[in-house]
């Protein structure tokens, strides 16, 4: 009788151990399914991202430099207007405009208009009242179109916001070591570059509207170096966004496009 009891207990213990093993195996399988694999970027990929981010930073620097300066366009009167020893020219940007008084003797004799702006003279700068009282500015009897000027400024500010968001995405990608944030960063930088170029186009339309408001006094106008900075920034930002798209791909486009060379040859 005792022998049968011990045999029965031994069989029940084996069954219990087997059941526990099966439950542990199922729990391990469930735990394994619940875990997600996070692919960390390699050192070479991180270096490429830093290089592409450096290109984007150059575009951001040029954009900030162009936005903060008032040398988007130069308006120059004829240098012999009124027969005085001085002449006036103006230059303005998104936020303020300046009127400079130059000496005619310092101007190149072959030049018909007043300028350039780099010559020594007196300057009077004022901020536009578009953003405070909503008034238009009057430059040499010509009136600005505040809607176009405001649209150019808003597009530039939106572009700057997208630059900041793209930079934050790249910073998170480098800190976390994952390439997930490259796609939103590329979208932000490309959209920022497009907005920058649109801002330049709208600003040019505002200059055309200013010149057509009055034609009593002829004016010579030209886009200045701030527009060159902003336009270059837009192209660089779009190029940097395309680089981030290439780096976010799960495969190397160079290996797909270029044929593989046989090691035997």
User: Looking at the predicted structure, is the pLDDT value of residue 47 above 50?
Assistant: yes
Dihedral (Cα; 226, 231, 236, 242), 10-degree rounding: 150
In this structure, what token pair is assigned to residue 21? Answer: 């093993």
Question: Whole-angstrom distance between the N-terminal and C-terminal Cα of the chain?
Answer: 82
Collapsed DSSP state (helix, strand, coil) of residue 76: strand
pLDDT score for 265:
43
pLDDT score for 131:
81
Strands 142-143 and 121-127: unpaired
User: Looking at the predicted structure, is the pLDDT value of residue 27 above 70?
Assistant: no
pLDDT score for 115:
84
What digits encode the pLDDT tens for the residues 114-151? 988 888 889 999 999 888 888 899 898 899 999 999 99
E strands, the chain, are 73-76, 86-92, 96-103, 121-127, 138-139, 142-143, 220-223
SS in 3 state form for 138-207? EECCEECCHHHHHHHHHHHHHHHHHHHHHHHHHHHHHHHCCCCCHHHHHHHHHHHHHHHHHHHHHHHHHH
* Sequence spans of domains, the chain: 43-249
* Domain with residues 43-249, CATH architecture: Up-down Bundle (1.20)
pLDDT band at 83 (very low <50, low <70, confident <90, very high): confident
**Average of pLDDT values for 225-250?**
92
Q: Phi, psi at residue 214, to the nearest 5°?
A: -160, 140
What digits encode the pLDDT tens for the residues 255-264? 555 555 544 4
CA–CA dist 187, 158 (Å, integer): 14
Max intra-chain CA distance, the chain: 135
| Residues 6+ positions from 147 with CB-CB distance below 8 Å | none
The whole-model pTM stands at 0.77
């Amino acid at each position: 009788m005792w022998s049968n009891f011990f045999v029965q207990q031994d069989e029940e213990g084996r069954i219990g151990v087997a059941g526990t093993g099966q439950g542990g195996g199922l729990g391990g399988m469930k735990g394994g399914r619940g875990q997600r694999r996070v692919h960390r970027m390699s050192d070479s990929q991180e270096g490429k991202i830093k290089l592409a981010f450096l290109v984007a930073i150059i575009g951001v620097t040029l954009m900030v430099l162009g936005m903060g300066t008032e040398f988007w366009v130069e308006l120059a009167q004829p240098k012999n207007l009124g027969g005085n020893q001085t002449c006036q020219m103006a230059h303005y940007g998104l936020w303020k405009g300046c009127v400079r008084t130059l000496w005619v003797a310092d101007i190149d004799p072959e030049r018909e208009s007043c300028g350039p702006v780099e010559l020594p003279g007196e300057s009077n700068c004022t901020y536009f009242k578009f953003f405070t009282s909503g008034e238009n500015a009057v430059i040499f009897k010509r009136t600005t179109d505040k809607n176009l000027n405001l649209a150019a400024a808003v597009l530039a500010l939106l572009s700057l916001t997208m630059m900041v968001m793209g930079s934050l995405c790249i910073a998170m990608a480098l800190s976390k070591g994952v390439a997930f944030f490259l796609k939103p960063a590329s979208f932000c930088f490309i959209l920022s570059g497009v907005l920058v170029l649109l801002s330049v186009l709208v600003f040019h339309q505002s200059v055309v509207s200013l010149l057509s408001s009055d034609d009593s006094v002829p004016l010579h106008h030209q886009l200045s170096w701030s527009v060159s900075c902003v336009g270059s920034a837009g192209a660089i930002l779009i190029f940097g966004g395309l680089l981030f798209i290439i780096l976010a791909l799960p495969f190397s486009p160079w290996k797909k496009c270029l044929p593989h060379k046989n090691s035997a040859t």
